[in-house]
Chains A and B, each alone.
Chain A
């Protein structure tokens, strides 16, 4: 694998996330942790893949808070550690995160946080740069995969120099961009450390914290000096009187588009972006008439730069979000940056895009759907039917949902999510509905999410005796983010160092009286159990257990087993449409002879047979007949 065996000095194409891993290896990282989350997941996934061939320790932790705590403790013992997460993961980790700024570390610690402007795979587009201000934690912001590698390395050095964690902020367009990365020497970790007890530093009791906060302010003052002189903050000066200050991927866009204008435009790229290098910025703008601040999401730098310049007598006009030249919403594009710059320069642009205002044909939307054969579909189908039967003449039940592939159950035909806040909220929020309404409350949570954020909430439900039904959708993987393992799902061959934590033992141990485990592939039986659970007064828990069909089929293929596909006996089909309207498997289509099952899409789960008796399982012969692959 190039990532570990590549030749030093050569360039390789790496994903931004892979480049972070390479940077960590070149920095001699000892320990890394992650709870997966798009767009950060490939950092952990890559570490997981290579860990047997390297000398660092890696774990998928139960959630981001635990992940950060493992990394922080290791760094306090003198190790070089890394914790990676998506932006909202930092909310989960934030309590301990804030403390690590106070305590600092003895070795080095890098917290990699990937933001998701435009919310490609997230519930919000919060801006992690504000966390660096909240915690007073230095931040580096690469713009390209190569910079991601270099700055991961820099972040370890900086962390060690300052004695505190450093945030490396990525965004989707860096994490998921593949680009040329130039390899340096890999450094082998030094081995085990000895933790030296130092309670005044590592135990933030009010008395200790009083002093630690002052020390933090001293460290951040030192960090500001470093950022003022850091080579990561690059000035590309030009003759013109207009300049740009930018960071992250927006700086790459600024670099590209500024070349397109006749007037020469200077650029200050702030990669060591917190603390903001005040002197450097003042110096940069003092020769300019106009400066455009180009940053995605919140006007973080812009506000700080405006206040920095206030009262200095430096007469530069500042443009950006606050002047309505650029938006505060969604990811930027080179085009957006070009247009803002043109406006500041007073240049008219020709729009090269085709004017396609009049659409000739309408292409319907294509929202993501649960895969054909997904066990979550069977569970939703059964629950919705059971709930319907149990709540006849009553108001509809309230469905609380959670985050994972099964969030797609919010869409028609199931529409079985009414409320969702964050990972684990499915269980936490049930109490509010159970006490504020007389409706039945039915909650769905995935297995990985259950361990991540469901446990304390379930204790709350049991302790306060809320009358709810909880469905744990156990597909033995963290599917949504790329099929990572989790505490309840240890794959073959990983057993030696990992122990599986049983969901049913955990739930039973908490004192749940109604607990059933069902196989959702068996839809009818599942529906009956759900009815009992919904009717039960008190907390009822049903673990709906069947593996993610993609993982299952991959194993089958590896074992050389045949995947038997489903087919409708076309001549008998009366087009009652239950299969598409109520069950909604995406493998069904309307062919020239009526409803049929796309053999390329069918994953052969066979559960549709229970939805319609006219569906049959066929062998390979039938598949070839269809020409599917």
Chain B
């Protein structure tokens, strides 16, 4: 069976682990074998966080360099930093949010502008989707749901061996009652946006 390798990245605190749990639950519910590589400990204090989700005939959670089918990033710069996972077929899906490290605020380093990062990402391959997920999340009811917007875009690529409905069920199972509606809205917004962008891609 084919293996699907997903790298989810961003900055600690952006709900990266939750996205991987939703994906894993949905894969499990689809009777697929799934392994998730999580990050706990030091890296969570505002540092870069990577998690891996691997679906298919595998026994481990680490996604090797060059073998990601999808890199999903909740922060633009981190999408580019994760480029070592990409090959020419990979999808890169990034939120347009930029989270500026303290060193940059202090003037010790520069952070590239969104347009520059976008250009660099475009140079990596054909399948780059860049979205203001934070805005779509806000419109759906809360910025916190930016991770679920991203999940919607990932589903739109068709690169996941999981049905849309199964993902929705996994979302509903994972989030608190009062946040369900917002998250389902955020997911739908991401899905729609993803489909629109892919239509423009001319793949």
Contacts and interface: CB of A to CB of B under 8 A. Distances in A.
A600 B123 CA distance: 32
Contacts of B117: 361, 363
Interface stretch (B56-64, B148-156, B157-165, B195-203): B56-64
B84 A176 contact: no
Contacts, number: 179
A11 B62 CA distance: 21
B60 A584 contact: no
B60 A628 contact: no
Contacts of A628: 143
A366 B84 contact: no
B80 A180 contact: no
B180 interface: no
Contacts of B109: 364-365
B46 A368 contact: yes
Nearest to B24: A13
Contacts of B64: 333-335, 338
Given A354-B88, A589-B105, A362 B60 contact: no
A38 interface: yes
Interface in B40-67: 40-48, 58-62, 64-67
Interface string A149-174: 00000000000000000000000010
25 contacts: A11-B28, A13-B25, A38-B42, A120-B39, A120-B41, A120-B42, A121-B43, A143-B60, A176-B39, A178-B35, A178-B36, A179-B35, A179-B61, A331-B62, A335-B67, A352-B88, A360-B119, A367-B101, A368-B44, A369-B102, A482-B40, A580-B102, A581-B106, A586-B46, A590-B100
Interface stretch (A210-218, A251-259, A382-390, A418-426): A251-259
B90 to A, nearest CB: 8
A368 B91 CA distance: 28
B42 A584 contact: no
Given A173-B60, A335-B67, A41 B40 contact: yes
A177 B58 CA distance: 13
A202 interface: no
Chain A interface size range: 35 or more
Contact of A362 (B11, B39, B112, B142): B112
B62 A360 contact: no
Contacts of B80: 360-361, 363
A30 B202 CA distance: 62
B81 to A, nearest CB: 5
Given A335-B66, A361-B112, A588-B105, A177 B46 contact: no
B86 interface: yes
A607 interface: no
Contact of A368 (B21, B47, B106, B112): B47
B81 A405 contact: no
A580 B105 contact: yes
A366 B76 CA distance: 13
Interface string A89-119: 0000000000000000000000000000000
Contacts of B143: 600, 627-629
A255 B59 CA distance: 8
Interface of B: 11-12, 21, 24-25, 28, 33-48, 58-62, 64-67, 77-78, 80-81, 83-84, 86-88, 100-106, 109-112, 116-117, 119-120, 123-125, 138, 142-144
A39 B48 CA distance: 17
A367 B124 CA distance: 25
Interface string A307-347: 00000000000000000000000010111001000000000
A252 B62 CA distance: 10
B47 to A, nearest CB: 4
Dominant secondary structure at the A interface: loop
B113 to A, nearest CB: 9
A41 B43 CA distance: 15
Contacts of B78: 363, 366
A408 B41 CA distance: 13
Nearest to A364: B109
Contacts of A252: 59-60
Given A143-B60, A177-B38, A179-B34, 14 more contacts: A13-B36, A38-B41, A38-B42, A173-B62, A180-B28, A334-B62, A353-B67, A354-B66, A354-B88, A363-B111, A363-B117, A364-B111, A366-B46, A589-B100
A177 B62 CA distance: 9
Interface in A558-607: 577, 580-581, 584, 586, 588-590, 600
A586 B102 CA distance: 6
B59 A256 contact: yes
**Taking each of A354, A371, A627, which has the highest tally of chain B beta carbons within 10 Å of its own beta carbon?**
A354
Contact of A365 (B25, B87, B101): B101
Interface string A368-394: 111100000000000000000000000
Contacts of A11: 28
B56 to A, nearest CB: 10
Contacts of B103: 364-365
A480 interface: yes
A298 B120 CA distance: 40
Q: Which 3 A-B pairs have the closest CB atoms?
A: A353-B66, A360-B120, A38-B41
Contacts of B40: 38-39, 41-42, 121, 176, 482
Contacts of B87: 352-354
A590 to B, nearest CB: 6
A333 B36 contact: no
A366 B109 CA distance: 11
A600 B146 CA distance: 13
Contacts of A42: 40
Contact of B105 (A360, A590, A629): A590
Contacts of B21: 178
